[in-house]
Structure 1
Amino acid sequence: MSEALESPKSGLETLKQIVAGFHSSSLELTREYRRLEERVATLRDELERKNQQLENSLREREDARGFLSSILNSLKAGVLVLDQDLRPTFANQRLRKLMGEVDRERVSELVGEKLLSCFMQRESNFLPLDCEREVRDANGKVTPIHLAISKIMTGGQSSGYVLVFQDISRLKRLEAEAARSTRLAALGSMAAEVAHQIKSPLGGIELYASLLKERQQGDTKRLAEEILGAVRRLYTTLSRLLSFVAEPSICAESLPVSVLMREVKEICQPLLKDEKTKLTFHVQPRLPSLWGDCALLTQAIFNLIVNATEAMPHGGRIRIAARLSPFYSVNGRVYRTIEIIVRDQGMGIPIENREKIFDPFFTTKPNGTGLGLALAHKIIGVHMGSIEVSSQPGQGSSFTIFLPVDERPRLSSEEESYGEANTCRG
């Protein structure tokens, strides 16, 4: 009887223990859950921080990459990066402008497989390979370049190659100009000596021909007159030759470009009698003055304009423009320059003649002397300037004169008001 009464009590105690254990477990589970939540929150914060750091790092890398790309794109040299398999991975704007889009095939064409193979097999990992080459763009234009190839080293291992293409067209022109000046100096000395040697016997020929003309009749007199005409033409040629080889006498002064252009317009009026020929002048406003001889510079520009009119036998437009040009160096000295451009719509200059057009006595015209462009070139040279020509057969020619500005900055009131386009008509 007593055992039967104790059984419910024992069951109640057991139930209480179970409830207490469940409560304790629930509390422990709650504490674990909270700890887990805290851990998850900590991990989430750390993950967010890592993500933020990664984003910042990626942004910094992108900024650095963009900055480096901007630097490379601002260079005047073309830059090409290749991977280990010689596939292009980067080409700056200058390179794309110089050579167009570059793929693996184009790299082989530009550099040459043999040259790349030689470089890849070299023992030195850092010594660049330098050479000069000529590249042809999509339009067929050939450009001389200086090419430097170097390995890209990462962790002591080669990870690719960087190629730097430098356009050396201007350097080649300067080298050709220096060689031409040396050649012309020797030619000038020889020509002056020959001219003086010819003048004495020429005087004797003229004297005897004059006597024959006075004393003879018929065919003999006619032949004497032809001899005298030939002598006079030869004297004219000798005078032009001596004038060319002599150093021009310069009366330099501060010369506003507008004044120079006005003188050029004035001297060109006889050329405009043919209404089919039209001259258009445009001078950039507020140009600094030149330092030079107005008469000589006018003559040089006039010679270029005469050449342009002769290149347009059926008429056309000749544009003369003046503007401020970038800096350039002459004999190690840097100048600001004025560009004076004479552009015609003529037949153009064949490629094989472009290197000769400034040589004395070179002409393609039946009655030309070959001294007009040579004299213009010489006048610009004594003003520490230069002339460049660009031409395409059938598309006209453009002669660009570069002249240093007056180092003493001054601007005439006349030049301030001169800047609009002016047109001369016959």
Structure 2
Amino acid sequence: MGFPQREFNEGIAPEKSWRAAYESIQALHPSLPALDEDPLRPMEWEELVGNLLKALERAHRSLIQRETQLAGLRDHTDSLLMTSDDRTLARLSVQYLQKGYGFPEVLLALEELDTRDVRAYWSMEDGPFPKQGEILWSIEEIHGSLLSEILQGKRLPEKTTCEAVSRTALPHPSRITPAYYDILIPLPSRRRLGASQVGLLAVRLNGDEEEHSGLHLELEGIAYSLAASLENHRLQRDIMKAQRLREDLLRSLGHALIAVDRDGRVIAFNKAAVHWFGVDAGDVIGSSMDNLPESLRPMTRRLDSVITREKDQLSWEGDIKPAGGPPRPVSISANLLRDESGRPYGAVAVAADLSDVKTMEKQIRQLDRLAAVGRFTTAIAHEIKNPLTGIATGVEYLRRSFAEDASEQKDIQFISNEIQRLNRIIQDLFNLSHPRELIIEKVNPTQLVEESIKSIRADFEEKHVKIETHFDKKCRSVNADADRMRQVLINLLKNAAEASSEGQIVSVKTRLAGTQQVEIEVRDQGSGLTPEQSERLFEPFFTTKPGGTGLGLYICHGIVQHHGGRMVVESQPGEGSTFHVYLPAAGPR
């Protein structure tokens, strides 16, 4: 390269202007050599200008690269704004750093929140395209490594030299050292207790480190921003997870739950409350609890009380009437909600259905009564039966002392009937407290019904009630205690006769129910039962007959259950009653 000789021959002033321009450029590019104090010859100026042009070319390439990086950063930022997943965020960040800056290899190691394992994301050159991926390192794999120490907050060691490691091999914790990666930057944690770092950014540079002056500070800024973004993503994920857990808990809770803020606006109304009260949650959330249906008043009153009085807890037991159903016993617990400063911000009320509890309490009371009956029966059964036997004998002698058509016979028959009733009561009580073991044998159900009818036919004839039988010839035998099942059928037939009026019909049927059960049906045309009576019919001491003990059907129901069967009743007021006895069928005939 040549310069005009005239400028160099005109003296020192032109050289001073060239020297000043060169030194100004050198201040921007320290890599350019300094000028000596002595005047320069033309050939020396050519060399310096050549160096200057090279520096400007490098600066131009660096400027183009920086513009490319900024464009990639804008694209990367747009991608980050569209993702809410921390793993996607980490993967995109690694890809951006590797491709945007042209690094041979970038690795981002992040500690998992729950397991303390480490998930590593990497991107490296592999021919014309970068090789990318992620891998999970267990806490055992990273134990004792520099990565483990960095995550615990220890300082980075000085850069050393080591043997070359293949860049195409999968990353491994042992490879994360200053000897392999040119830049190691910890990602600081700002939120996690007991943890110093979120993870680590590791970068291999391409070329002389001098070409990347200032890059470390730039990557530190990116790493710190990335750490904050990752923690925000994880925090958002934890919040969403906690919200889903809260929603799942509210949805799966079998008790009705209503929560309100301090102004009485509904902020929670769970699935059970929707089911109980027939109100859609979307219709009540945000509305005042004063506008809720009347059926919710027991709950809203307690909510209002704890808010108004700032009482931490209030309990109440009573009945509420759900939508489309009978009243049910509930226990309502209302609690004041306080924030971290202890200031009330609302209240929550939970209504627990006590129907099963009340049923169990009732059963326990019945069992207590039965136990008392058992003790009573054991103590005095013989004391009562013996005098009754003597009285019955005396009444029989008294009957014989009068003529058959004497008017006294009617009174004597009344006394005899009452003695028999007392005997039945005592026997029922004794059977209740001392049930005997079943003697199971193969029994023909048709024969069982016929024998039972024969035993009680006099009762039907006395009331002029007819009996009709329908026996299924395909009906199989049953495995049963014949004596105990006759007791059941006689009781059902006797009740049917007592419920029937003169001229009415009682029908008895046997048939195969399915393939494994035999059904015996007893139907009368009496006055029938109300739904409430039908529901309680097999309870001990419940009776619909004047003078009844309420033990007959209870005992029969228990006998059938001990056989592995079941007894059900169908009845409507004015339409008679039908009793179905289902027993396990024996093997094929």
Q: TM-score, normalization: structure 2?
A: 0.42
Letter of the aligned partner of 1:78 in structure 2?
A
The alpha carbon displacement at 1:234 in A equals 2.2
Q: 1:308 to 1:190 in 2, by over 3 A?
A: closer
2:357 aligned partner: 171
Question: Which residue, 88, 94, 97 being the options, matches 2:275?
Answer: 97
For the residue of structure 1 that corresponds to 2:320, the secondary structure is: strand
For the residue of structure 1 that corresponds to 2:293, the secondary structure is: helix
Aligned mates of 1:307, 1:37 — CA distance in 2: 101
Q: 1:218 to 1:368 in 2, by over 3 A?
A: same
Aligned mates of 1:195, 1:174 — CA distance in 2: 30
Letter of the aligned partner of 1:374 in structure 2?
Y
Which string of whole-angstrom CA distances, capped at 9 and with x for unpartnered residues, describes residues 351-400 of structure 1?
Answer: 4896686343x5324796643223246668999x9999999979999999
The answer to whether structure 1 residue 226 and structure 2 residue 403 are counterparts is no
The alpha carbon displacement at 1:274 in A equals 4.0
Q: 1:293 to 1:299 in 2, by over 3 A?
A: same
Which string of whole-angstrom CA distances, capped at 9 and with x for unpartnered residues, describes residues 177-228 of structure 1?
Answer: 2223333444565577787666566556545544444344476x341x3344
Q: 1:69 to 1:153 in 2, by over 3 A?
A: same
1:49 aligned partner: 80
Aligned mates of 1:298, 1:218 — CA distance in 2: 37
Range with bigger deviation, 136-145 or 267-276: 267-276
Question: Which residue, 400, 405, 411 being the options, matches 1:214?
Answer: 400
1:5 aligned partner: none
Letter of the aligned partner of 2:414 in structure 1?
A
1:75 aligned partner: 253
The alpha carbon displacement at 1:120 in A equals 1.5
Contact in 1 for aligned 2:470/2:510 (Cα 8 Å): no
Contact in 2 for aligned 1:276/1:314 (Cα 8 Å): no
2:315 aligned partner: 130
2:264 aligned partner: 86
Q: 1:363 to 1:53 in 2, by over 3 A?
A: closer
Aligned mates of 1:343, 1:120 — CA distance in 2: 60
Contact in 2 for aligned 1:130/1:146 (Cα 8 Å): yes
Aligned mates of 1:207, 1:139 — CA distance in 2: 60
Letter of the aligned partner of 2:73 in structure 1?
T
Which string of whole-angstrom CA distances, capped at 9 and with x for unpartnered residues, describes residues 291-340 of structure 1?
Answer: x9967985798699769978898889999999xxxxxxxxxxxxxxxxx9
2:296 aligned partner: 109
Aligned mates of 2:70, 2:336 — CA distance in 1: 49
Superposition pairs of residues 265-304 of structure 1, within 5 angstroms: 267=448, 274=468
Range with bigger deviation, 45-54 or 152-161: 152-161
Q: 1:97 to 1:67 in 2, by over 3 A?
A: same
Aligned mates of 1:300, 1:66 — CA distance in 2: 59
For the residue of structure 1 that corresponds to 2:305, the secondary structure is: helix
Give ranges in structure 2 of 5+ residues lacking alignment.
Answer: 1-56, 87-232, 454-465
Aligned mates of 2:276, 2:511 — CA distance in 1: 28
Q: 1:236 to 1:396 in 2, by over 3 A?
A: closer
Letter of the aligned partner of 1:76 in structure 2?
G
For the residue of structure 2 that corresponds to 1:129, the secondary structure is: strand
For the residue of structure 2 that corresponds to 1:230, the secondary structure is: helix
The alpha carbon displacement at 1:165 in A equals 2.3
For the residue of structure 1 that corresponds to 2:273, the secondary structure is: helix
Aligned mates of 1:169, 1:388 — CA distance in 2: 22
The alpha carbon displacement at 1:169 in A equals 0.8
The alpha carbon displacement at 1:146 in A equals 1.9
Q: 1:380 to 1:213 in 2, by over 3 A?
A: closer
The answer to whether structure 1 residue 358 and structure 2 residue 539 are counterparts is yes
Identity in percent = 21
For the residue of structure 2 that corresponds to 1:171, the secondary structure is: helix
1:20 aligned partner: none
Contact in 2 for aligned 1:349/1:391 (Cα 8 Å): yes
1:326 aligned partner: none
Letter of the aligned partner of 1:180 in structure 2?
Q
Aligned mates of 2:575, 2:78 — CA distance in 1: 67
For the residue of structure 2 that corresponds to 1:141, the secondary structure is: coil
The alpha carbon displacement at 1:99 in A equals 2.7
Q: 1:368 to 1:183 in 2, by over 3 A?
A: closer
1:180 aligned partner: 366
For the residue of structure 1 that corresponds to 2:435, the secondary structure is: coil
Give ranges in structure 1 of 5+ residues lacking alignment.
Answer: 1-26, 282-291, 323-339, 402-411, 419-426
Aligned mates of 1:33, 1:356 — CA distance in 2: 94
Q: TM-score, normalization: structure 1?
A: 0.55
1:149 aligned partner: 334
Q: 1:390 to 1:215 in 2, by over 3 A?
A: closer
Contact in 1 for aligned 2:258/2:348 (Cα 8 Å): yes
Larger Rg: 2
For the residue of structure 1 that corresponds to 2:352, the secondary structure is: strand
Aligned mates of 1:77, 1:320 — CA distance in 2: 43
For the residue of structure 2 that corresponds to 1:53, the secondary structure is: coil
The answer to whether structure 1 residue 245 and structure 2 residue 408 are counterparts is no
1:162 aligned partner: 348
Aligned mates of 2:512, 2:495 — CA distance in 1: 11
The alpha carbon displacement at 1:119 in A equals 1.5
The alpha carbon displacement at 1:242 in A equals 1.6
Contact in 2 for aligned 1:151/1:160 (Cα 8 Å): yes
Aligned mates of 1:387, 1:169 — CA distance in 2: 23
Aligned mates of 2:569, 2:352 — CA distance in 1: 21
Q: 1:268 to 1:142 in 2, by over 3 A?
A: farther
For the residue of structure 1 that corresponds to 2:544, the secondary structure is: coil
Q: 1:186 to 1:304 in 2, by over 3 A?
A: same
Superposition pairs of residues 375-390 of structure 1, within 5 angstroms: 375-376=555-556
**Residue-pair matches, total:** 339
The answer to whether structure 1 residue 374 and structure 2 residue 567 are counterparts is no
Contact in 2 for aligned 1:148/1:164 (Cα 8 Å): yes
Superposed CA RMSD in Å reads 5.9
Contact in 2 for aligned 1:195/1:238 (Cα 8 Å): no
For the residue of structure 1 that corresponds to 2:296, the secondary structure is: helix
For the residue of structure 1 that corresponds to 2:419, the secondary structure is: helix
Superposition pairs of residues 329-348 of structure 1, within 5 angstroms: 347-348=528-529
